[in-house]
Amino acid sequence: MARDLRAFLNGARLLGDLEALAKFGALPEGGISRPAFSPAFQDAADWLIQRMEEAGLSVRIDAAGNIIGRMGPPGPAIVCGSHIDTVPGGGHLDGALGVLAGLECARALSEAAIPLAHALEIIAFADEEGAYVSLFGSRAMMGELTPNILQSTNFLTLSVEMAAVGFQTARLAEAHRDPSEIAAYLELHIEQGPVLEDAGLKVGVVDSIVGMDLVRYRFIGEARHAGSTPMNVRRDAVRGACDAVSTAFENMEAEGASASGRMTFGNIRVLPGASNVVPSEAIVTSEVRAGSAGDLQRLRSLVDAAFGGAARRNNLALHEDSPELDEAAPLTPRIIETITQVADAIGTPVLRMPSGACHDAQIFARKVPTGMIFVASRGGVSHHPDEFSDADAIIAGAGLLLCSLGELLSGGTRS
């Protein structure tokens, strides 16, 4: 039976920490801009390190810029991680909640003086939001920086930014850890969607993190005079792009793939981009997301079929560029079960749900027993100054995190 440690959790202290961290990178018009390794981020990192040391954690910063606070015996650690960087004009909870709730749990566990079978590590991962390389710190730690990433111009820019604040990316390999050093990974995060709020619940237990398939399609037609070229001889790239996008959405509806999958054409670029020239080129990004590899593949083939058909109908050439695939990451059944049983034991109702957004947890889930807890987001708004969660939802989520950590740390995980 899980021990209810919530009496040791100081909710006001956690809310105070969230408010204090939100001041770093705060914008006069509202919202926070704290991209990784920016001056505001470095100040926030110094602040966090001080709070960690005050809580009795021993703190180190690894070669990727991950901030790691540790307590307890030597050997494999239970890691509680998230991030303190933000998107430009972001909110005060995305990432910050997971790190600061972890810190509050570390204090509570010290005060509860429970014997620890494992060490506890609170980690703030570098550049989760991808100002340069998304999920950078967790990828570095788990050895998931692919040659593709390391040869990208984004990585080169990151190396320059990191050098300016004292890191050498030539030493990145030092951040790599063997998965056996991590007994389990837990992350508390705001939901960033409306599902929990709609269900009238404060807290969710994540069972998988959706995969993402991104591709750039280029329709190539012919640039001609907009006035003197009759409609029936045109090879209009935008006409093809619009046909493709609406057909893809229709296919998705017709196949009943709308409930679980997501399809987004978030960027369309037109060349030469003049009002009086028939467009010769239209570049469309397609991003599909789904909770399983099969669903992801099905969505991608719906898009492929729609775009191929539109190219033929409109007499256009079609190219597919720079595909990127992030496989769906199922979280670990044993950890999901532990969190669910703990929630039951302490009387916190939870919804089991997938995560539609990317998180550091997905990098760990491939190699380490991993679980995630969600806190309801008001209106599902995130990556925006209006991002907000009720204090009682934050405290309920942190309470479940604390008791789950207590269970895992005491070696009480059911294997």
Q: Residue 125 or 167: which CB sits closer to Zn ion?
A: 125
Cis peptide before 88 (omega within 30 of 0): no
DSSP reduced 3-state for 354: strand
Q: How far is the CB of 92 from Zn ion (least distance, A)?
A: 12
Distance in Å, CB of 230 to Zn ion, minimum: 52
Of residues 190 and 201, the one with the C-beta less far from Zn ion: 190
Q: Which is nearer to Zn ion, 348 or 362 (CB)?
A: 362
Q: Which is nearer to Zn ion, 62 or 94 (CB)?
A: 94
Q: CA-based angle 371:377:383, to the nearest 5?
A: 95
Residue 405 CB, nearest approach to Zn ion (Å): 19
Say which residues have a Cβ less than 8 Å from residue 287's Cβ, sequence separation at least 6: 212, 213, 214, 262, 263, 264, 265, 266
In this complex, which beta carbon is closest to Zn ion, that of residue 95 or of residue 354?
Answer: 95
364, amino acid identity: F
- Reference 177, options 102, 115, 119; nearest CA is 119
CA distance 190 to 179: 26
- Could you tell me how many residues of this chain bind Zn ion (CB under 5 A)? 2
Q: How far is the CB of 95 from Zn ion (least distance, A)?
A: 4
3-state secondary structure of 59: strand
Closer CB to Zn ion, 4 or 144, in the complex: 144
Where does this chain touch Zn ion (CB under 5 A) — which range of 90-98, 115-123, 338-346, 365-373? 90-98
Q: Given the rule CB under 5 A, which of 87-95, 258-266, 330-338, 381-389 is the region that contacts Zn ion? A: 87-95
CB of 216 vs Zn ion, minimal distance in Å: 25
Q: How many residues does the chain have?
A: 415
User: What are the strands, taking DSSP E only, across 27-177?
Assistant: 58-61, 67-71, 77-82, 119-124
Minimum CB distance to Zn ion smaller for 125 or for 307: 125
Q: What's the min distance (Å) between Cβ of 25 and Zn ion?
A: 15
Q: Are 126 and 175 in contact (CB under 8 A)?
A: no
Nearer to Zn ion, 87 or 119 (CB): 87
CB distance 34 to 24 below 8 Å: yes
Contact between 25 and Zn ion (CB under 5 A)? no
Shortest Å distance, C-beta 190 to Zn ion: 8
In whole angstroms, how close is the CB of 206 to Zn ion at the nearest point?
13
Contact 24, 36 (CB under 8 A): no
Beta strands 262-271 and 281-290 are: antiparallel
Name the closest residue to Zn ion (Cβ). Answer: 95
Cβ-contact 370, 178 below 8 angstroms? no
**59 or 357: whose CB is closer to Zn ion?**
357
User: What string of H, E and C letters represents the secondary structure of 242-280?
Assistant: HHHHHHHHHHHHHCCCCCCCEEEEEEEEEECCCCCECCC
Show contacts with Zn ion in window 93-122 (CB under 5 A): 94-95
Smallest separation, CB 109 to Zn ion (Å)? 24
Residue 247, number of CB atoms within 10 A of its CB: 19
What phi and psi values does residue 277 have, to the nearest 5 degrees?
-125, 130
Site of interaction with Zn ion (CB under 5 A): 94-95
